[in-house]
Structure 1
Amino acid sequence: MCGIVGVTGRENATEILLKGLKKLEYRGYDSAGIYVNDQKGNGYLVKEKGRIEDLQAAVGPAVKGTTGIGHTRWATHGAPSQANAHPQVSADGRFYLVHNGMISNFRQLKQEYLADVDFVSETDTEVIVQLIARFVGEGMSSKEAFVHVLHLIDDSSSYAFLLMDKDQPNTLYVAKKKSPLLIGVGADFNVVCSDAMVMLSETHDFIELTDGDVVTVTPSKVEIEDAEGQSVTRHQFHVDDDATASDKGAYDFFMLKEIDEQPGVIRGLEQTYIAQDGQIEVDDKLMSAMNQADRLYIVAAGTSYNAGLVGKNIFEKLAAVPTEVHIASEFGYNMPLLSEKPFFIFLTQSGETADSREVLAKVNQLGYESLTITNVPNSTLSREATYTMLLNAGPEIAVASTKAYTAQIAAETILAKGLGMLKVTPAAAEFDTAFELTKAANAIQTLVDQKDIVEDLAATHLSTTRNAFYIGRGIDYQTAIEASLKLKEVSYVQTEGFASGELKHGTISLIEENTPVIAIITDQKTAELTRSNEQEVISRGASVINIVSENLAEEDDQIVLPAVHQLLTPLAAIIPAQLLAYYTSKERGYDVDKPRNLAKSVTVE
């Protein structure tokens, strides 16, 4: 959600900004803009509604400079428009500001300090840049005004700010609270970015900032002050990722590339966390902390929440530990009665999910231990939790998560096995983690190699429908929830996942002639029950697709899943559902990777 780039000390600042913004597209946005300065008194502001391609087309050859800032905006305050796009500019044309996050008290600030200012946008961001200009006009320096305004912002707000002063054209002023922001360190230049991945073509060395930090960045220096105004040194880390890992290569869309990468991601997790003798190689202190807990609380949002639903089943079966799964945005403000010794697991692809971070802050205040399972090292949730387990899945660019979902389930499986061995449960003793995950990876490979079957089904059943349903029982119901999310995310088909036994309790009234119903059947004890529910919708005109494990398959079943362990059937069953979503979106002519109104990293509550 929104993205920031900045650079100082490079002759090709415009090119660097546009390239960085292009790599930030995965976060979701509806407008974009840049401001660059050539150090000779010339500044250039270009903003456009729409895609980065629209911005690039508007950037003429004269727009050159050595220092600049850029932004991709996802509309919150004010509709998508050129006026509301960032950078926002002070009335005197001196200050330029890009901002991720939300300022809760912007209306009060506007009324108290800026009643005489004519605003050109509807954004909370313009209030901040106008305030900075106001206080500079009253005698403060640019930095003093910047810090003063930060103190006026209320505690419920979130921000990542990047400010330029036209009168100090080689300086960037930076501040963050709740929203992620990094400083990239170079030789005689420095950069600022929301995500290290977007600046890997310039540097691999980054400084992680802490909430409350105020930073002054010039080509030769990075000066950091904490919330109390004290000079501090923050941890610098090196990122080894290859910048080309975020390229599509021969694929039309990142989503398909990331679906195809899933077998390798599963095998990578095996190699990282499972020794050759089958022992689980996870932090001993983490496993001890989990073993002492009387209940696990999985907190997540969106696809990660759905991975948590699958994880609940795995933890309870392998480790025999009661497990609850909670939506982060609900849990943060309606915390249930906790057990005596809770342990919290945060599932997040980006490690920056604002809803989950709100919960983690409260968990830390209560003194409970926690684990973040994430794909992004040094992310906020990773730093602030007691423990971190990395997915190492590589960049996930498409907004609709695929490989992070399966990686999260695999990681939960590894943890559940390790915990079950500590608790000496029979189920854990019988479960060969490496073998079963390898078997699941092989099954995924088989399924991604059968794209033609799924593409035909999408064209036949889903290319023109306005709604669809996924049904299943038990763990298949959990898979149905994620499968329905994938389809609605990228194809805009109104899709719901239902426990198939619940159809006759109301939902069956929505079935019309040719309504697509996709049944997931992987559990022998409920297979016939789901097929019976399937007959109920067929008799009312539904068009049915079956996704069935091979040991339960019948002659007319369209998609047959290779055999995997019963606990891991979601790893196999979700693959055709991901492909159905992909091909339905493509069939309808949509941008699969960047569905409307959605953001990859949701950094505001």
Structure 2
Amino acid sequence: MCGIVGVIGRDDATQVLLNGLEKLEYRGYDSAGVYVNDQNGHDYLVKRVGRIKNLEAALTPEIQGSIGIGHTRWATNGAPTEANAHPHVSNDGRFYLVHNGVVTNAQTLRQEYLTDVELHSSTDTEVVVQLIALFAQQDGLDAKAALRKTLKLVEGSYAFSLVDRNQPDALYVAKNKSPLLIGKGDGFNVVASDALAMLDVTNQFIEVKDEEIVTLTKTDITIENLAGTQIQRNAFTVKMDAADLGKGTYPFYMLKEVDEQPVVMHRLAEKYLDAKGNVVLPADLLDALKQADRLYIVAAGTSYHAGLVGKPLFEQLAGIPTEVVLGSEFGYHMPMLSKKPMFIFLSQSGETADSRQVLVKTKALGYPALTITNVGTSTLAREADFALELYAGPEIAVASTKAYTAQIGVEALVAKALGTAFNQPAAKQFDVAHQLALAADGQQALIDQKEHLHDLAKDMFATTRNAFFIGRGTDYFVSLEAALKLKEISYVQAEGFAAGELKHGTIALIEDNTPVVAFITDPVTAEHTRANGQEVQARGGKVLHIAAHDLAKDGDELVIGDIDPLLSPLVTIVAGQLLAYYTSYDRGYDVDKPRNLAKSVTVE
């Protein structure tokens, strides 16, 4: 949530910042701003409410500099206003600061140190910049020393980037819990909360770790801990094509990313299978998995739903008990663990704060961890013992699509490998290469029926205020994800339910024409789910049936290709994604940037 960019040593700093903010807008789009300084006595602060295009329109030609910081905001403290937008400036006009995260003791700091200081916003960030200015003035400290003193008082999560107007030859950054990277250039350096923001100027990045301060000049990068001890750290290369970030001829990124899912399935097979179709995993990872007596999948949101699909994969193919937990709950209310647990963290971005706080705690307890993420250089990937990539390519739309299916695909591959190592009969019979190929074919078949799905979306959801998705087994899990897709981008109140639970209370909400989508891919419970659909229809509800080919009946509105029921969500969710997309599109919403949401949830 929120995006930070910074640059020093580029005469086109304003454009570099603007380009970076445009690439980070998926992290927040309530407001945005930049501060630039030409290092010759001229500087500019420009902030606007709303999208980056509003900021861009306000950047007149004379607003140029060779050092600057920028920010795009997802509101956590205070409403989206220009006063609350970043960068924030100290009352003496000396210090400019951008911030991601939440300072949990901001009110305490204000009452203890700033009772005589006028604040102009309702943000925790302004408290920090006013503290820096106070310590610089009353203690005679330079910018870095004042920042260091402030950091020793600050509690919570933060990624800061600071410029001192009096000495604009350095850019200072610091972090705790919130992600931040330094980018190395030729005669310049940059800072960003996500590497993709600066891929058009460099692919060399340095990780900033918790409770570190980094000083950037146009030629040097100095990393220190809060005690002032210097730290040496090598750069790593981010292997991502900046051209992949464009949406081409698509009206929205989400539709492009839905269409890319069959390619992702083939890519997973290419990356994780050898010529004989055997899953290839690092030997030490496989050994760690074999030693575990229980797996705990930790995730949030869409990744949590992917974890639910993973649970029966691990239990049925590998014979290992598996729990799926919400990071936001598990970290603070940890249940009794097994004797030899192993933790698997699912995260599209690899920066999810709710999951990271679980990783920190489980590492302290000495338990092994695997991160499965789309960003191999992310915090969760770097800090876990093992990491596997999704190879889904950049996912820009806030509503996750291809990362969800890629997570399920990787779970299937890992479960197959573990089950094979355990000599499990179910794993031997499960041809994961063939299943991924079937998934790709089934996904493509639905993608090719876009017009039909658009018509179904109009028929089911054009004017409704609420909707239900039902299924049993893995169909229940995909119901949860399909409902989330609809609610997050079209604002329809949608819920997913285990089909058998409708009659235990929820069916009371069924009225005339209430839309209900029924997923039917499990041969064991297919007739039961159909019966639940008939109960809905008997009360005036409108049911859309999405069924596997072998379970389909006349009148089913959508039929998918056959695939193992364990992996049917790889296909059925494509229907859910497209139904949500067209509902949002027809209602005139910004599909990629739904209100109140951000792509990377970096605050707890």
TM-score tier, shorter chain, comes to: over 0.9
User: Is 1:432 the counterpart of 2:465 in the alignment?
Assistant: no
- Cα displacement (A) at 1:125: 0.3
Deviation per residue, 1:460-492 (Å, 9 max, x gap): 210210000000111110110111001001000
How many Å apart are 1:159 and its aligned residue?
Answer: 0.5
The aligned residue for residue 377 of structure 1 is 376
Mapped to 1, the partners of 2:66 and 2:345 lie a distance apart of: 41
Q: Mapping of 1:586-605 within 5 angstroms?
A: 586-605=585-604
Q: Say if 2:235 is the partner of 1:236.
A: yes
What residue identity is the alignment partner of 1:198?
A
C-alpha separation in 2, matches of 1:554 and 1:170? 71
Deviations 1:111-139 (A, max 9, x none): 11111111100000001100111111121
Cα pair 1:177 1:210 within 8 Å, conserved: yes
- Cα shift at 1:239: 1.4
Tell me what 1:122 maps to. Answer: 122
Q: Does 1:560 align with 2:559?
A: yes
Question: Displacement, 1:438?
Answer: 1.1
CA distance in 2, matches of 1:202, 1:167: 27
2:76 maps to 76
Per the alignment, residue 107 of structure 2 pairs with 107
1:31 is matched by which residue type in structure 2? S
Q: 1: distance between equivalents of 2:251 and 2:583? A: 14
Match of residue 295 from structure 1? 294
Corresponding position of 2:47: 47
**Displacement over 4 Å in runs of 4+:** none
The residue that corresponds to 1:488 in the other structure is: 487
**1:389-424 per-position Cα deviation (integer Å, ceiling 9, x unaligned):** 111111100000000000000000000000001111
Q: Helix, strand or coil: the match of 1:518?
A: strand
Q: In the aligned structure 1, how far is the partner of 2:597 from the partner of 2:122?
A: 21
Letter of the structure 2 residue corresponding to residue 148 of structure 1: K
Q: CA deviation at 1:240?
A: 2.2
Offset, 1:263 = 0.7
**For 1:102, what is the secondary structure of its paired residue?**
coil
CA apart distance, 1:446 = 1.3
Task: Report how far residue 62 of structure 1 moved.
Answer: 1.5
The answer (yes or no) to whether the contact 1:28–1:399 under 8 Å persists in 2 is: no
Cα shift at 1:54 = 0.7
> Do structure 1's residue 212 and structure 2's residue 208 form an aligned pair?
no
Q: CA deviation at 1:235?
A: 2.9
Q: Is the 8 A contact 2:7 2:189 kept in 1?
A: yes
Matched residue SS, 2:596: coil
Note the alpha carbon deviations across 1:243-285, whole angstroms, 9 max, x for none: 1111110000000000001111111111111101122111111
User: How far off its partner does 1:525 sit?
Assistant: 1.4
Partner of 1:404 in structure 2? 403
Offset from partner CA, 1:267-315 (integer Å, 9 cap, x none): 1111111101122111111111111111110000000000000000111
Counterpart CA distance in 1 for 2:268 and 2:159 is 33
Q: Secondary structure at the match of 1:551?
A: helix
Letter of the 1:588 partner, please give it. Answer: R
Q: Which residue of 1 aligns with 2:88?
A: 88
Partner secondary structure for residue 532 of structure 1: helix
2:27 corresponds in structure 1 to: 27
Counterpart residue number, 2:266 = 267
Asked if 1 retains the 8 angstrom alpha-carbon contact of 2:29 and 2:52, the reply is no
What are the ranges of 5 or more consecutive residues in structure 1 without an aligned counterpart? none
Write the distance in 1 (CA, Å) between the matches of 2:239 and 2:342: 32
Shift in Å at residue 567 of structure 1? 1.4
Task: Output the CA distance in 2 between the equivalents of 1:520 and 1:37.
Answer: 57
2:27·2:73 contact (CA, 8 Å) conserved in 1? Answer: no
> Following TM superposition, by how much is the alpha carbon of 1:39 offset from its aligned partner in structure 2, in angstroms?
1.3
SS of alignment partner, residue 35 of structure 2: strand
Partner secondary structure for residue 48 of structure 2: strand
Q: Which residue of 2 aligns with 1:286?
A: 285
Residue 106 of structure 1 deviates from its aligned partner by: 0.8
What's the offset of the Cα at 1:227? 3.3
Q: Is the 8 A contact 2:489 2:591 kept in 1?
A: yes
Contact kept? 2:30, 2:75, Cα under 8 Å? yes
- Aligned-partner Cα distance in 1 for 2:377–2:239: 13
Deviation at 1:202, TM superposition (A): 0.5
Name which of structure 1's ranges 442-451 and 511-520 shifts more when overlaid on structure 2. 442-451
Does the 8 Å contact 1:96/1:165 carry over to 2? Answer: yes
What is the distance in 1 between the residues matched to 2:365 and 2:45? Answer: 47
The residue aligned with 1:62 is 62
- Alpha-carbon distance in structure 1 between the residues aligned to 2:312 and 2:446: 24
In 1, Cα distance between equivalents of 2:593 and 2:401: 14
User: Contact conserved, 1:319 with 1:421, CA < 8 A, in 2?
Assistant: yes
Is the CA contact 1:209–1:234 (under 8 Å) kept in the aligned structure 2?
Answer: no
Mapped to 1, the partners of 2:256 and 2:169 lie a distance apart of 40
1:195 aligns with 2:197: no
Q: Deviation of residue 530 (structure 1)?
A: 0.7
SS of the residue corresponding to residue 149 of structure 1 reads: helix
Which letter maps to 2:276? D
Q: Does the 8 Å contact 2:478/2:573 carry over to 1?
A: yes
Q: Distance in 1 between matches of 2:234 and 2:478?
A: 40
CA–CA separation in structure 2 for the residues paired with 1:322 and 1:421: 16
User: Under a length normalisation based on structure 1, what TM-score does the superposition of the two structures give?
Assistant: 0.99
Q: State the 1:506 CA deviation.
A: 0.6
Q: Percent identity?
A: 61
Q: Secondary structure at the match of 1:519?
A: strand
- For residue 478 of structure 2, what is the aligned residue in structure 1? 479
In the alignment, is the contact (CA less than 8 A) between 2:376 and 2:388 conserved in 1? no
Deviation at 1:226, TM superposition (A): 2.0
Aligned counterpart, 2:157: 158
In structure 2, stretches of 5+ residues that fail to align are none
CA distance in 2, matches of 1:535, 1:344: 41
SS in 2 for 1:7: strand
3-state SS of 1:525 partner: coil
Residue deviations 1:203-256, cap 9 Å, x none? 111111111110100111111112332111123111121111111100000000
Contact 1:48 1:55 in 2 (8 A): yes
Partner of 1:338: 337
Q: Equivalents in 2 of 1:390, 1:9: separation in Å?
A: 34
Q: Deviations over 1:156-177 (max 9, x none)?
A: x010000001111231000011
Aligned-partner SS, 2:525: helix
